[in-house]
Amino acid sequence: MNSSVSALPLSTLNSANEALTLRLPSSLQLKQQLPLSNALAQQVAAHRQAIRAILDGEDYRLLVVVGPCSIHDPRSALEYAEKLSRLAHDVSDEMLLVMRAYVEKPRTTVGWKGLAYDPHLDGSDDMAAGLTLSRELMLEMVRLGLPIATELLQPMAAGYFDDLLGWVAIGARTTESQIHREMASGLSMPVGFKNGTDGGVSVAVDAMRSAAHPHRHFGVDSHGHPAIIQTSGNPDTHLVLRGGHHGPNFDRASVARVQADLTRLKIPSRIMVDCSHANSGKDPLRQPDVFNEVLEQRLQGDRSLIGMMIESHLFEGCQPLSPALRYGVSVTDGCLGFSATEQLLSSAAERLRAQVRA
């Protein structure tokens, strides 16, 4: 993965207070340089349809979005993808595994913003290289046969890799954003809206209702020109429970309350549980406990629980950015190691098979 699309020269500055601007290639240019073949485009379409079938109750497999909190090292990410591809095949009768390919990282204040922003991990913010590297990496994952997922944080970046994605998350900090709701209404893949950081689900429910409707909004076309974007509405949205400031929200009582709210508003009860964040108390090693509790609810007949999300890397834990990084360890949120992830999902698949046999 060594191709690149260069940024254009800096604009002339009119004053000391004017923001610096550096022109990026258009999304069309990058897609032309790193194209998605017809065969792979059909594969992505099939992945999206498989996820829709789970949301609609036509496919009773469990949807599991799993992988690094964020990707900072393409080599370790591809090694993880290769391992996950083999595991996905082994559990495909009971689960649809979707790999997290998160190249943007939301920040409450400041910090590393992700591979698409700062691929060299040094604050140089070479976004042209970051977008190229992100698309190259996602293409490699698609070639491995994996559906891939990401959180779309910056709407202007979405067009550089939207054709590769099987599933998209809108994060807790952006679910309330009108801009992100409008963007989601024009996406051609299923979208999960996370509940707000306070733990409340009303903003996510409002987002789902908004995204289901057509919109006209300001945007940028594939050539990079300002444009009026007209969307048709996205019917394939669902809720992601990730806990909040007051604690987790994956327990039976919390799920029942959410189901009642969705039913009252005549919104399909389609719920994914994020096993990380506040649901695990930000302890990555507690994710299996959350997963197994939700799995038990599903085994007892709660079909509104359509999926789960796990933050997982080659090795457990996390590390700060430094000149000497440990291979395969997250530089953002702590993750479950792959061995533990494999054991968790394999065991869950066997429990699901046993229910079918019974």
* Residue 126, pLDDT score: 96
Residues in the chain: 358
Buried b (16+ CB within 10 A) or exposed e, 248-283: bbbeeebbeebbeebeeeebbbbbbbbbbbbbbeee
pLDDT digits (tens, 9 = 90+) for 21-58: 889 999 999 999 999 999 999 999 999 999 999 999 99
Buried b (16+ CB within 10 A) or exposed e, 117-147: bbbeeeeeebbbbbbbbbbbbbbbbbeeebb
pLDDT digits (tens, 9 = 90+) for 63-108: 999 999 999 999 999 999 999 999 999 999 999 999 999 999 987 7
Q: What's the pTM?
A: 0.94
Token output for 84: 């996950």
Q: Catalogue the E-assigned strands of the chain.
A: 62-67, 95-100, 148-151, 167-170, 191-194, 216-220, 226-230, 237-241, 271-274, 305-313, 336-337
SS (H, E, C) 102-148: CCCCCCCCCCCCCCCCCCCCCCCCCHHHHHHHHHHHHHHHHHCCCCE
State the Cα–Cα distance between residues 150 and 166, nearest whole angstrom.
9
pLDDT digits (tens, 9 = 90+) for 138-161: 999 999 999 999 999 999 999 999
pLDDT digits (tens, 9 = 90+) for 241-288: 999 998 999 999 999 999 999 999 999 999 999 999 999 999 999 999
Strand partners, 309: 65, 274
* Residue 137, pLDDT score: 98
The conformational region for residue 91 under phi > 0 = left, psi -120 to 50 = alpha, else beta, is: alpha
Nearest 10 degrees: Cα torsion 331, 295, 345, 338? 20
Task: Judge whether residue 5 has pLDDT over 70.
Answer: no
What is the DSSP pairing of strand 191-194 with strand 95-100?
A: unpaired
pLDDT grade for 8, boundaries at 50, 70 and 90: low
Rounded-to-5 percentages of helix, strand, coil across the chain: 40, 15, 45
